[in-house]
Copies of this chain bind each other. A is one copy, B any other.
């Protein structure tokens, strides 16, 4: 434990302690339910629909390969309908699909049975009758765990105008050339580019720094300036970050009919004097 650091910054964190931009978008749950209780299925499906889950009711156990091809996040099954072969099935499913959350939801059972099921690889055991909401929470908890164990595949790359934002590399590019943004610069650009509305300075500061902005802090302004500088260097005749006076900043890639381009065009000509006067006026 580094004494100096913990002493100086009790609540503060390094750059990205809270700013982790990953796992924000939780894709929809894909699950299959293997059960034969019509009432149970009906109540459950109603809740799942309300949550926007993609679920598939099953009444007979599918082969492992079929399960694989379904790309499920979770499987809920009632061991009772499988009989004695249920244990083997459970074991195979858990062994072959380690990324799948398996929840056993079945009637009254003994401790030994529950222990056996969990040891075979089930992630949770819920005893029927149960409240559908609770079952769903258990499923979500299991899926959450599995997701966390996976490589959080960060957001896909996005293009805006001439620049490409790569969250996986913490960097922005123009024609595969890095803009050499620092971590904080990238975070601000990423944040701005992810929202098309005006963001107030306080919002930006809080989301990037992780705590409230002190009154009069100009850090956001300074970083926006650095960002604009690098963006302009890599992608002239475009403006990406727009100031809204008295409010904040907004990201929007705009092609500019800018003077610079014409300057470049006319640079070789003998129009320097005209240009100078144009700039002065």
Contact = CB atoms under 8 A, between A and B. Distances in A.
A12 B183 CA distance: 33
Contacts of A7: 119
Contact of A149 (B14, B122, B146): B146
Contact of A16 (B146, B182, B200): B200
Interface string A10-22: 0011111000100
A223 interface: no
Interface residues of A, number: 71
A216 interface: yes
Given A5-B215, A151-B150, A244 B170 contact: yes
A118 B146 contact: no
Interface of A: 1-2, 4-9, 12-16, 20, 65, 69, 91, 95, 98-99, 101, 111, 114-115, 118-124, 131, 133-134, 137-138, 140-142, 144-152, 154, 168-170, 182-184, 194-198, 200, 203, 214-216, 218, 244-247, 250
19 contacts: A1-B214, A1-B215, A2-B218, A4-B119, A7-B119, A98-B148, A111-B133, A114-B134, A114-B137, A115-B133, A115-B137, A121-B144, A123-B141, A145-B146, A147-B149, A151-B195, A169-B244, A170-B244, A183-B246
